[in-house]
Structure 1
Amino acid sequence: MFNKKRALAGVAIATGAALALAGCAGGGDSPDTAPTFDPNEEVTLDLAFWGNDVRAELYNEAIDAFNEEYPNITVNATFLGFPEFWEKRQTEAAGGNLPDVMQFDYSYLRQYSENGLLLDLDPYLGNLIETDPLPQNILDIGVVGDVTYGIATSTNAWGLFTNPVLLETAGVDEFEGGSWDDYTDWMADVTDGAAGAFWGGADYSGRIQNFELQLRSEDSYLFSEDGEPGFDEERLTEFWESGAPIRDGIGIPQQRVEEVLPKGGFDSALTASELTWDNFGAGYLAGLGEGYTELGLVAPPVTKEGAKDLYLKPSMLHTISANTEHPEAAATLVNFLVNSPQSGEIFGTNRGLPASETALDAADLDPLAQQVKDYEASIADRLGDAPPVPIVGYGTLEEKFRQLGVELNFGTITVEDAVSQFFSEMDVVLNQ
């Protein structure tokens, strides 16, 4: 049975605030022997996910397919928009009644797991949850403190999208790779060729992910497993100062960005390139509209040749509540939603490029999805281990970094002041 509960309009989006979660005991103790599931036991599971009507219909199909194999498991599913989904989970967490199975966001995995709200999945790996279709680096994504709490449904990687139509207009070839300075020079060529109609790109120093990319090239990191920063004020100053030439006429002015919100410069055809996660392509094409049928997708600039600076990140994961009364049935459902050929065929790339090789082989990839798959294969030599699961409060710091980038672009703050403000915010978040 599939029950849809629609989100109420006008619910405020909660940004940057850490959830006040109450730790919950019970239900999640790891069995001493490999768990098995009785196919004759009548079980009801609650499944929660975020999305829209399109995704809801896909889950409906997946649950129907699941019930063909497991008719004894009734799945009651509910969905909400992303912010409302997490508001609902916060309320449930406080009351100790999270759904049995949840679609989960990477940024909340540490917070919920460290509060004892998620089931240890390690006892189910290799039996009820198949691991052969999932590469080890994918399995490691869901690990917090040496315990597996989530299984990635899909992955994405950091990439550089380009707009072939604008590049042809500007008379500039595709970015062929190189250093960050090479990328800045390439953007300048596009901006010059566009003659004021559009720009080569935006100030890359406004995104914390580009800073992380450079730090990883230097064998460092944003934050360690223990929440220690892998950079000092001098290094952040250097990074933000590297964006000065872009802010001085090469990149799109911040005022133009503000004028096209909630769209961005890239999907408004005002910039010819964008550094972001590779699963954003479909949204960009939809935003660009008629006349735009393809995008370029190439590797980001290189800080140090041979560095393992890129990594695969989960688009989303599936987790199980620590308080579930039916952990074996819940693990069986998670395995089906992640690994089964039916899930790959039904969801395609709706949740991102399938992480499971079994699901990926069954998915019907459109040209853009095939392009993303080929891109991730092309950067295999740059893929390193994923960083630790984001620290509690990472979203707050990511947003502060973005806001300071906006102020730098407007010219309303100096790099020195921006660095001071970020370190003050970081001190509060890391020591709360």
Structure 2
Amino acid sequence: MTLRFDRRQFLLGSSALVAAGAVGVMPAWAQAANLRLTFWGGQARADRTYGVTDLYEAANPGTTIEGEFLAWNDYWPKLATQTAGGNAPDIIQMDYRYIVEYAKRNAIAPLDEFVGGALKLDGFDEDQLEGGKVDGKLYGISLGANSVAALVNTVAFEEAGVEVPTNAWTYDDLMTMGEAFKSANIRGGMKVIADGSYSEPMLDNWLRQRGKALYTADGKLGFEEADAIEWYTLWNKLRDAGVCVSAEDQAIDTGAVETTMLVLGKAAIMPSNSNQLVGFQAIMKDKLGMNGYPRIAAGVGGGHYRKPSMFFSVSGSSANKEAASAFLSYFVNDPEAAKLLGVERGIPCIAATRDVVAPTLDEQNQLALNFVANLGDLLGPLPPPPPASAGEIDASLIRTLGQEVGFGAKTPEQAGPELISGANAILSRS
């Protein structure tokens, strides 16, 4: 489902007042243009984003920005269709897993020629800049650093009489917590965790703790059949014990925030990302907390990493690349824009921007910032960008096979080899 929002209705008073003081002579590189912007996310992200586009339009007379946002699962098929038809929006929210594919197909444009002119990146975190490069060229501007994280309904834990997990928890602890939730039988049988068996980030984290990876630097698989079988076996055990939600319940999750097990109250923990805490809390009454993914054993870390939460890229077919680059520059540099955006997309990548944002953050935003800044021994190195076909492997194999095992259509011993053979076949075609 496509969600639309009239940005004129957002922060009508405050943004207009701020913008009034920002209006002035346009910089020489700023071009009046009609720009289209697309991004995935929920209403909370849209509100913040459209607040910034309002400010930008007010500061740059003659420029209009038409925005559209969709749920994650709807976003990529529509973007692929628009790209194939030569009608992609000028400004595209891009993910780390897809940036190589879109860059190599010229679906997004290198931005190097605009750096220092329309696109100001002074003081930008070097690791976040590197994350947006493909073959040495800059294709994406990181909108924030984040890490995978488990979002936790702390109120549900209190009702169940179970201590909220910390960064020290393990998969064995998860089993113990799940059994306690089952005994407490709160909220009509709420489980302790959503089904993570077909969560690509959770699989990646589990593999990294074992010294392996989803993909190697040369774009090959970084794990084997035995690993995949063990992964599916682990989640079968959790599912059979009533620790994670049933396959039937998990199937309700279409990718939209509103359909997740956490929001629907079917699970107290959900594998997610640190920047998503803000969006989830905006539509939930129960107070949420956050900690790392479970460890495979006590003291084992290194599964997490700080990655660009998402990028803004410019379409390769855009007729307004310089104007689009100017908007990207405003989005990551302007102090008033930074205050509106907070850390909903991750921790800002420019130190001066972080300094502006930090004093304005509420408790939940501070929690997200502190989590990413203090991962401790959970933190490992940033992996190389996934191969161009990683998105297809995620959607058509990791998720599908996880569901099939969950519903009992396949055993772990069947799904494990199929994941490896299917992924290798996709990689060989790319």
Distance (Å, rounded) in 2 between the aligned partners of 1:407 and 1:323: 39
Aligned to 1:376: 372
Cα gap change, 1:224 to 1:398, in 2 (>3 Å)? same
Is 1:136 equivalent to 2:126 in the alignment? yes
Distance (Å, rounded) in 1 between the aligned partners of 2:79 and 2:281: 32
Distance (Å, rounded) in 1 between the aligned partners of 2:239 and 2:216: 31
After superposition, give the CA deviation of every residue in 1:97-152 in whole Å (9 maximum; x if it has no partner).
65543333334322220012333233544665343443222212212223221001
Q: Secondary structure at the match of 1:420?
A: helix
Amino acid at match of 1:154: G
Aligned to 2:175: 184
Equivalent residues in 2 for 1:334-349, closer than 5 Å: 334-349=328-343
Q: Secondary structure at the match of 1:429?
A: helix
Cα gap change, 1:266 to 1:81, in 2 (>3 Å)? closer
Please, which of 405, 410, 413 is the counterpart of residue 416 of structure 1? 413
Q: Deviation at 1:247? A: 2.0
Equivalent residues in 2 for 1:278-297, closer than 5 Å: 278-285=274-281, 288-289=284-285, 292=286, 294-297=287-290
Distance (Å, rounded) in 2 between the aligned partners of 1:194 and 1:56: 36
Aligned to 2:11: none
Cα gap change, 1:382 to 1:123, in 2 (>3 Å)? farther
Asked if 1 retains the 8 angstrom alpha-carbon contact of 2:194 and 2:270, the reply is yes
Q: Deviation at 1:371? A: 1.5
Distance (Å, rounded) in 2 between the aligned partners of 1:58 and 1:259: 30
Cα gap change, 1:220 to 1:336, in 2 (>3 Å)? same
Task: State the identity %.
Answer: 25
Please, which of 37, 40, 55 is the counterpart of residue 48 of structure 1? 37
Amino acid at match of 1:359: T
Equivalent residues in 2 for 1:191-270, closer than 5 Å: 191-194=182-185, 197-254=189-246, 257=249, 263-270=259-266
Asked if 1 retains the 8 angstrom alpha-carbon contact of 2:192 and 2:269, the reply is yes
Aligned to 2:428: 431
Q: Secondary structure at the match of 2:262?
A: coil
Q: Deviation at 1:45? A: 5.3
Q: Deviation at 1:309? A: 2.0
TM-score w.r.t. length of structure 2:
0.78
Distance (Å, rounded) in 2 between the aligned partners of 1:408 and 1:65: 49
Q: Pairwise CA RMSD of aligned residues?
A: 3.5
Asked if 1 retains the 8 angstrom alpha-carbon contact of 2:128 and 2:349, the reply is yes
Aligned to 1:30: none
Amino acid at match of 1:417: Q
Q: Secondary structure at the match of 2:191?
A: coil
Cα gap change, 1:425 to 1:133, in 2 (>3 Å)? same
Asked if 2 retains the 8 angstrom alpha-carbon contact of 1:342 and 1:359, the reply is no
Cα gap change, 1:256 to 1:383, in 2 (>3 Å)? same
After superposition, give the CA deviation of every residue in 1:158-179 in whole Å (9 maximum; x if it has no partner).
1122222222222211223233
After superposition, give the CA deviation of every residue in 1:322-359 in whole Å (9 maximum; x if it has no partner).
45566544433211112221221233345454444433
Cα gap change, 1:306 to 1:172, in 2 (>3 Å)? closer
Distance (Å, rounded) in 1 between the aligned partners of 2:376 and 2:296: 17
TM-score w.r.t. length of structure 1:
0.78
Q: Secondary structure at the match of 1:160?
A: strand
Aligned to 2:315: 321
Aligned to 2:17: none
Q: Secondary structure at the match of 2:310?
A: strand
Distance (Å, rounded) in 2 between the aligned partners of 1:40 and 1:204: 47
- After alignment, is 409-418 or 321-330 more displaced? 321-330
Amino acid at match of 1:309: G
Aligned to 1:39: 28
Aligned to 2:302: 308
Q: Secondary structure at the match of 1:200?
A: strand
Please, which of 70, 74, 77 is the counterpart of residue 81 of structure 1? 70
Aligned to 2:99: 109
Q: Deviation at 1:39? A: 0.7
Q: Provide structure 1 residue ranges, at least 5 long, that are not aligned to the other structure.
A: 8-36
Amino acid at match of 2:33: T
Cα gap change, 1:308 to 1:45, in 2 (>3 Å)? farther
Q: Secondary structure at the match of 2:197?
A: helix
Give aligned pairs, total.
396
Asked if 1 retains the 8 angstrom alpha-carbon contact of 2:35 and 2:320, the reply is no
Q: Provide structure 2 residue ranges, at least 5 long, that are not aligned to the other structure.
A: 5-25
Distance (Å, rounded) in 2 between the aligned partners of 1:209 and 1:244: 18
Q: Secondary structure at the match of 1:392?
A: coil
Amino acid at match of 2:295: V
- After alignment, is 280-289 or 222-231 more displaced? 280-289
Distance (Å, rounded) in 2 between the aligned partners of 1:60 and 1:179: 40
Amino acid at match of 1:77: E
Q: Deviation at 1:191? A: 2.6
Distance (Å, rounded) in 2 between the aligned partners of 1:50 and 1:204: 25
Distance (Å, rounded) in 1 between the aligned partners of 2:74 and 2:252: 25
Asked if 2 retains the 8 angstrom alpha-carbon contact of 1:101 and 1:321, the reply is yes
Cα gap change, 1:317 to 1:67, in 2 (>3 Å)? same
Q: Secondary structure at the match of 2:266?
A: coil
Cα gap change, 1:349 to 1:240, in 2 (>3 Å)? same
